[in-house]
Amino acid sequence: MDLRSCGAVFSAVLAGCVLVFGVTGIGRAQQHGDIGKSLPATNLSSEKQADPNLPRPAPGFANARVADNPLAPDARPVGEKTCIACHQLEADHFTHTLHALGLHVANRSDPNIPVCEACHGPGSAHAQNPQAKGSIIAYTKNGGTPIEVQTKTCLTCHAGGPRDHWAGSVHQRNGLSCSDCHNPMAKFSVEGSMAKRSINDTCATCHKDIRAQFDRRSHMPLPEGQMSCDDCHNPHGALTNNGNPMLNFPLSKTNTVNETCWQCHAEKRGPFLWEHPPVRESCLNCHTPHGSNNNTLLTLPIPALCQQCHASSAHAGGLQTRQGTANGARPEPQMIGRGCLTCHASIHGSNAPSGPRFHQ
């Protein structure tokens, strides 16, 4: 083949490449310019009829409706089928969750009940311009949706019960959203749709200092899995707060500290014939709730803890100063180590007729 023939063949190939890639580029440009037209048709209620043989939706999902997105007031619903066209990975994760099970069953019973748009709002504006922030209700920090809109959407279905105390709670005042603790799009936890494997792991995401206290030698059985943070706390808000940290604590589930402790330690509740005033006032007078390097979660070792209120000079036969009671020249055997509780065994209160000193 001479040079003239080679040039003709090369020109023909080059022209074919320009034609093919040019058409493809134009097609992609048109698709990017109006992405909504490339998505599949919707599967809204107008396109299908309810099956009268199916059971009615569960009460928790029967009232689900398309969420209101104030940042896209003109958007209209497009249906789950349109959402899955782009968000296949999210749909695969969502399939295994409680929300997916309930909403899909409800949608089959009542086609007016949405699935994706029950939480994310109408999706037409987002389908036309996926990059526009606020066109869909997003549950991320940089998604463009205000936290107030996120929590209001969740509370549309989850209002009542512990969530009644969310407004004004310490978590709400610090700008937390429901999605900071929960992830309904994937099944990471056994219950609660938590963002981490468990309630304790979720709380430890922020409260690392509290979680470290459970590693001390005396601690509540939280690391062993015998309790969780919500056994004592209501993460959605405190039941009451009178401003006294000795009587109330952050995000309390009960009226007082003692009522929370008595849920497990009922034998300390009383009433007793002989009451110990600091015990009756608050368990926190002597104990720290998460973990301590002293025995039985005590704030100080005994006898130092008892000597905060009881001067050693008042003890029977005590002639030493307060500092020399246990280790001075003439130490009292009763005050060495755990000597206080050796005699005053019923320190939380006594019902014995001869127990005013909590000996019995």
Burial class (CB in 10 A: 0-12, 13-18, 19+), 152: middle
Distance CA 147, CA 179 (A): 10
What confidence tier does 230 reach under pLDDT thresholds 50, 70, 90? very high
Q: What percent of the chain has pLDDT above 90?
A: 53
Residue pLDDT, tens place only, 161-201:
889 999 989 999 999 999 999 999 999 988 889 999 999 99
Residue 32 clears pLDDT 50, i.e. is over it = no
Residue pLDDT, tens place only, 95-115:
989 999 999 988 888 888 999
Burial class (CB in 10 A: 0-12, 13-18, 19+), 181: buried
Domain boundaries, the chain: 55-163, 270-350
Supply 62's token pair: 């029967």
Better pLDDT: 37 or 24: 37
> Taking the model in full, what pTM does it have?
0.76
* Residue 255 contacts residue 240 (beta carbons within 8 Å): yes
Question: What is the rounded average pLDDT for all residues in the chain?
Answer: 82
* Residue 104 contacts residue 115 (beta carbons within 8 Å): yes
Instruction: Give the DSSP per-residue string, 167-215.
Output: TT-HHHHTT--GGGTB-TTS--SSSTTBSSSSHHHHHHTT-HHHHHHTT
What confidence tier does 267 reach under pLDDT thresholds 50, 70, 90? very high
274 forms beta bridges with 350
